[in-house]
Amino acid sequence: MIRSFLLAACIALTGTCAAQPALPSSFVAKTIHSPAGADIYVRSGGHGPVVVLLHGYAENSDSWAPLAYDLMKDHTVVVPDLRGIGKSSIPTSGYDKKTQAIDIRAVVTSLGYDKTVVISHDIGIMVAYAYAATYPDKVERLVIMDAPIPGLGPWTDILQMPGVWHFNFHGPDAERLVQGRERIYFDRIWNDFTADPAKPDDATRNFFTASYTRPGGMRAGFAQFAAFSQDAKDNQEFAKTKLTMPVLAVGGEKSMGALEGVIMKSTAVNVQSEVITGSGHWLMEEKPTETIALIRAFLQQPATAK
């Protein structure tokens, strides 16, 4: 209780905190079975319109702590761990994002909800896009933050960039190489994509690393990338029908930047593109105050705004 209070106070005053991230202790935890063959751990709380937060790789659902504390004041906030990550189960398959969209739909409906806003980051945006494309009438607004989407926009060019070496680093030998050295592996990713070497901080890095060190955790993490070729095929099919809900595409200035908007404008008709000045990829750790303000403004816009 004391730890949660201090974290909330720290976030409210500074937008950051030296402690590891943690969702509000008032959130209710539940494990929901997906018909796609996974048990999804989800926490939820607050009151008001429903917002689903989908986290990315090298993190888990606690990465949304700053935004969750803010939105819970006037929204119902639903925060699942993606399959294979955090406290969700680790199935042997199903890491393509079309399948994971089924997981998220099971979470939403099992909690008694239907239409929601979806906010996403990193790998989470790939699941969010598949979800919005599969259930377009169930997504009121969509926020996509700082990652490419397989098969969309300049995907082929992105795959040639040295910085995305980890997209093709997976399989049994990769698992053996990082076993017991998971923090070293994740440090390379965190350092490559941050604009501030101190962020994520050390406590946060240790906490997120622990999410992947349980048996099968790294295999599941790598499987997110191994599924990209299938994701690209699925997304090219999805893109034949453009999304019509309002979309906010956010890039960190030192990471995806304006390219995030370019990608989403190739597959959606109502896109607002924004760049977080001075930020790298890790928006919740590097620039939480600015990112939350952008999301808040987007949520408050009339539905017809472009």
Reported as half-sphere exposure (CB side, CA atoms, 13 A), residue 32 has a value of 25
N-terminal to C-terminal alpha carbon distance within the chain: 42
Range scoring the smallest mean pLDDT among 147-151, 254-258, 260-264, 302-306: 302-306
Residue 306 clears pLDDT 70, i.e. is over it? no
For position 242, what pLDDT does the model report?
98
Q: Would you mind telling me the total number of residues written for the chain in this entry?
A: 306
Q: pLDDT exceeding 70 applies to what percent of the chain?
A: 93
* Cα–Cα nearest to 282, from 260, 261, 254, 258: 254
18 confidence band (pLDDT: 50, 70, 90) = low
197 confidence band (pLDDT: 50, 70, 90) = very high
* For range 189-218, the mean pLDDT: 97
* For range 27-43, the mean pLDDT: 98
Residue 13 clears pLDDT 50, i.e. is over it? no
How far is residue 52's CA from residue 44's CA, in Å, rounded to a whole number?
A: 9
Chain CA centroid to CA 172, Å? 25
How far is residue 164's CA from residue 132's CA, in Å, rounded to a whole number?
A: 25
Radius of gyration of the chain (CA): 18
* For range 276-302, the mean pLDDT: 97
* Cα–Cα nearest to 82, from 114, 58, 47, 66: 58
For position 11, what pLDDT does the model report?
44
The DSSP string of 229-251 is: HHHHHHHHHHTTS-B-S-EEEEE
Q: pLDDT tens digit string along 87-145?
A: 999 999 999 999 999 999 999 999 999 999 999 999 999 999 999 999 999 999 999 99
Residue 15 clears pLDDT 90, i.e. is over it? no
Q: How far is CA 279 from CA 51, 250, 275, 283, in A?
A: 24, 11, 9, 7
19 confidence band (pLDDT: 50, 70, 90) = confident
How far is residue 118's CA from residue 285's CA, in Å, rounded to a whole number?
A: 20
Residue 6 clears pLDDT 70, i.e. is over it? no
For position 12, what pLDDT does the model report?
43
For position 9, what pLDDT does the model report?
40
Q: What is the pTM of this model?
A: 0.94
For position 304, what pLDDT does the model report?
61
* For range 180-185, the mean pLDDT: 98
Tokens of 66: 């700053």
How far is residue 151's CA from residue 153's CA, in Å, rounded to a whole number?
A: 7
Q: pLDDT tens digit string along 205-241?
A: 999 999 999 999 999 999 999 999 999 999 999 999 9
Q: Write down the mean pLDDT value for the chain.
A: 94
Residue 8 clears pLDDT 60, i.e. is over it? no
Residue 30 clears pLDDT 60, i.e. is over it? yes
Contact 127, 108 (CB under 8 A): no
Burial (CB count within 10 angstroms: exposed 0-12, middle 13-18, buried 19+), residue 167:
middle
Instruction: Report which residue type is found at 77.
Output: V
